[in-house]
Structure 1
Amino acid sequence: MAKVDRYATSRAYLERASKTLAGGVSSNVRRGDKPLPLYFDHAKGAHLWDVDGNRYIDYVLGRGPLILGHGAEEVIEATCRQLERGQIYAAQHPLEFELSERICKIVPCAERVRFGISGSEAVHGALRLARAATGRKIVLKFEGQYHGWLDNILYSLAPHEDAMGDALHPNGVQESRGQFTAAESHVVVLPWNNIAVLEEHLAQHAGEIAAIITEPIMANTAVIPPLPGYLERVRELCTQYGIVLIFDEVIAGFRASLAGAQGRFGIKPDLTIFGKAIANGLPISCIAGRADLMDLIGNGSVGHGGTYNSIPPAVAAAVATLDILAQDDGAVYKKIEKTGQALMDGIRKIGERLGIPLIVQGYGALFYIGFPLGPVDEGQAITNYRTALKVDQEKYNSFVSALADRGVRVIPRGNWFLSSAHSPADVAETLEAVEASLIEVCQPAAAVALGASK
């Protein structure tokens, strides 16, 4: 009897879309989804359904924004109320300052705020601001970190090993054809979590550097936490040399804690960038930071604009989202952390019981899973981009596809996102799928025997 293709409609849609939509998708990141770029019909809470009728427990969550899950009622109601009042004014509205006041109250570094649409453009604005404030050109970023897809910062996110260069002094590698070189864009790349290399570089070149931009949690590569004391020392060095410290919290912001990663770690940058979870899936981003820096935008000396900036429905969604996140002294975060930790612990235990080595690291709201290629030390297994390469990505891709076959959707690069909508029942169902998928991918003979016994 022929096996039924559970993704038949998605395959047909992808073929149809590819005739008019470049690559059949609207973001190149989605081209690598496993088992293929699926098409979805609807979603609610922690679940979504594809066009073939398959239900999934969703740990992709729009790649991070949906901290309250799909279709959070209060957010949807606030958005719809605003849509009835108007979609776009190309002018000011009271919700703008309601949201900016909330952010300035919540986020340690936020004295002034400016809104945009995407994280990429917010990064662009922050870099322009730092260069204007310091009169310097160079921006220092870290290998394996992502700050948007624009030309002037898209370097060494996932460089090929042949192009990376020395581990302590990496090459700045373009991620796309059509980009200028890193030198032409005035970008320098260093390894993350290595304070000695940073100190050495700044001792020689600090006077040329306008900004250091970093994810405070390396969310785009293996959810790597900062080593103890690392961010504190980066902050000290930036203060010492008059360098603008920029935290890219597009992923970590309002997910690591209500006050972001900077609140969780107690480190205050000069500027920070938010997106994703700020409006539970509606398109909005912001630059927030020191008043003296942000006022360069405010007085018009640094250009910043956009037709869709502070578009009312998205701002309404953000106000509603932050109100929910702030309720009951951050009860939502306690729930997410508890649920995510139970899932992480359960996955570790399954790996140990089956004798399958796994890397599981991160936080309850955002964590990473990988298959190590060699022995793993106790504690944190991955500390920077180079160590993140020591995993079996092909095996993980197979694991992702096996999970999808069992109704669990995750991101191929290893990140798992949690929301307040995920329940203990979702965790239990996911752990069953994880165990079956690990056996299928890592112990195929056992999987065949198990299937024969049923």
Structure 2
Amino acid sequence: MEHLPLRRQVARFPVTAWEARLSTVLERSAAFSSRARELTPGGVHSNVRLSAPSIFFERGEGAWLYDADGNDYVDYLLGQGPNFLGHAPARVNDAVAAEARRGSVFGANHVLENEAGELFLDTVGWAERVRFGVTGTESDQAALRLARAATGRNRFVRFAGTYHGWLDNVLMSMVDGKPAPGSAGQLSHSLTEAYVLPFNDAAALEATLAEHDDIAAVIVEPVMFNNGAIPPAEGFLAHVRRLCDAHGVVLIFDEVITGFRVALGGAAERFGVRPDLAVYGKAMAGGWPVSALAGSAALMDRFAEGVVHAGTFNGSVPACAAVIASLKALREDPPYARLEEYGDSLMDAIVEIGRDHGLPLRAQGLPMAFHVSFGDPAPVHDYAGLAGLDLDRYAAFSHTLADHGVWVAARGIWYVSAAHADKEMAATLERFDTAAAQVSA
């Protein structure tokens, strides 16, 4: 169906102005926040949340969040991405609840493992084996260990601005264009395990692989979603594949965000490049904490031949039930065409609203996950280009958006779910427009 012009969408789906129903003070959230700071450092259980407004939510439904004071928010953070089907999808939660009544962790095999594994492998299309875990961080580490075991080499290549978890050997910030530890207490020498290159720079990778013979793996987010939602340049991933083949290096796709989000078969399907190993999470399990490492039989079978990968909750009953229900939902009613249409319209509208209010708003990425910031509208291709944007101004604006009922990440990423539709578009545009008017005044 052809979209109405963006401005007419708002008129077609009128909503009550957010200002008329926003609590004058977030009294219950303030009380919860005060108590939280007495219970846990910074009042949060993940440092990522330190930059978010101190709002406490009671529930989520579809594409909406509801806070403790009765306010609603159109949600584009989606729990940092896992709620690809929307919050609390009944099909997934009902399946998990039904299976959890029969047990959760047995310390042994259970009957859902094979069904989840078969469905996963059939859906991604290219892999021959899968191991389920709990977090993307741990599965990335398993992939790197497997690559070292297979090659007998110790180091790996990564790209500036990509994220592969919070452990010492992968957590990284950039200071004056150079890699630096991302945390106090981090073992700085751990960063010497990696050669850090600019994203989308195949020539730099070619030179590095030619110069060094100690590289076990190249690990890459196929789309650099964690910073800037930067897509791969035309032919970049294919070039990386060829270079890895030429030098006997294991290619690892970190598909924790791209997997099942950018296409049913993830980035490997969307860009037509097959990795040796890939890590999945987030959109795979309808909001439940599940990750997966998948790859060729030749590599993955080393886990049965001396390479240790363990975890009490790996492949638990609820995890497998969530994977089965989520992947069946995505296969039976693929949301990807709807997401393309919705996300493209939303990005266009954000830029248009910014123009109307004299704000240099820009949007870049894919329709199902994109980055919003202030700055030059020209696309950025790597972390250095991203650093040239006014990211601090946008981080402050994200709090204004929360004040007006649009929940987004301070770092600029917007996730679109299968639950976003016309109602959510209308509410978003009205609330975004009001927030933009406020900061432009």
TM-score (norm 1): 0.90
Once the two structures are TM-superposed, the CA of residue 345 in structure 1 deviates from its matched residue by 1.7
Once the two structures are TM-superposed, the CA of residue 352 in structure 1 deviates from its matched residue by 3.0
1:310 match: 315
> Is 2:70 aligned against 1:53?
yes
Contact in 2 for aligned 1:17/1:24 (Cα 8 Å): yes
1:338 match: 341
Structure 1 CA distance for aligned equivalents of residues 131 and 157 of structure 2: 23
Aligned partner of 1:76 among 84, 93, 98: 93
1:449 match: none
> Is 2:242 aligned against 1:265?
no
Aligned partner of 1:191 among 186, 189, 198: 198
Structure 2 CA distance for aligned equivalents of residues 204 and 182 of structure 1: 21
Q: Percent identity?
A: 44
Once the two structures are TM-superposed, the CA of residue 269 in structure 1 deviates from its matched residue by 0.4
Task: Give the 4+ runs in structure 1 shifted more than 6 A.
Answer: none
Q: Deviations over 1:283-334 (max 9, x none)?
A: 110100011000000x241001111001111210110000010115x2x112
Q: Deviations over 1:133-186 (max 9, x none)?
A: 000001111110100011121123xx233xx3xxxxxx3311012222256651
Structure 2 CA distance for aligned equivalents of residues 348 and 392 of structure 1: 15
Q: Give, as a single letter, the amino acid of the residue that structure 1 aligns with 2:307.
A: V
Structure 2 CA distance for aligned equivalents of residues 196 and 408 of structure 1: 41
Q: Cα RMSD over matched residues?
A: 1.5
Contact in 2 for aligned 1:114/1:288 (Cα 8 Å): yes
Aligned partner of 1:320 among 319, 325, 332: 325
Once the two structures are TM-superposed, the CA of residue 397 in structure 1 deviates from its matched residue by 2.2
> Is 2:179 aligned against 1:172?
yes
Structure 1 CA distance for aligned equivalents of residues 364 and 148 of structure 2: 35
Contact in 1 for aligned 2:181/2:191 (Cα 8 Å): no
2:142 match: 125
Secondary structure of the 1:173 match is: strand
Give aligned pairs, total.
Answer: 420
Once the two structures are TM-superposed, the CA of residue 46 in structure 1 deviates from its matched residue by 0.7
Once the two structures are TM-superposed, the CA of residue 43 in structure 1 deviates from its matched residue by 1.1
Contact in 2 for aligned 1:103/1:110 (Cα 8 Å): no
> Is 2:34 aligned against 1:15?
yes
Once the two structures are TM-superposed, the CA of residue 108 in structure 1 deviates from its matched residue by 3.7
1:349 match: 352
Aligned partner of 2:242 among 236, 247, 268: 236
Structure 1 CA distance for aligned equivalents of residues 359 and 126 of structure 2: 43
Contact in 1 for aligned 2:104/2:318 (Cα 8 Å): yes
Once the two structures are TM-superposed, the CA of residue 349 in structure 1 deviates from its matched residue by 2.1
Secondary structure of the 1:14 match is: helix
Q: Deviations over 1:315-364 (max 9, x none)?
A: 10110000010115x2x112222222221121122223333222211112
Structure 2 CA distance for aligned equivalents of residues 172 and 397 of structure 1: 23
Secondary structure of the 1:435 match is: helix
Secondary structure of the 1:231 match is: helix
1:280 match: 286
Q: Give, as a single letter, the amino acid of the residue that structure 2 aligns with 1:403.
A: L
Secondary structure of the 2:363 match is: strand
Structure 1 CA distance for aligned equivalents of residues 437 and 191 of structure 2: 49
Unmatched segments (≥5 aa) in structure 1: 165-170, 445-454
Aligned partner of 1:248 among 249, 254, 258: 254
TM-score (norm 2): 0.92
1:214 match: 220
Structure 2 CA distance for aligned equivalents of residues 315 and 287 of structure 1: 14
Structure 1 CA distance for aligned equivalents of residues 287 and 188 of structure 2: 33
Once the two structures are TM-superposed, the CA of residue 212 in structure 1 deviates from its matched residue by 0.5
1:114 match: 131
Aligned partner of 1:101 among 118, 129, 135: 118
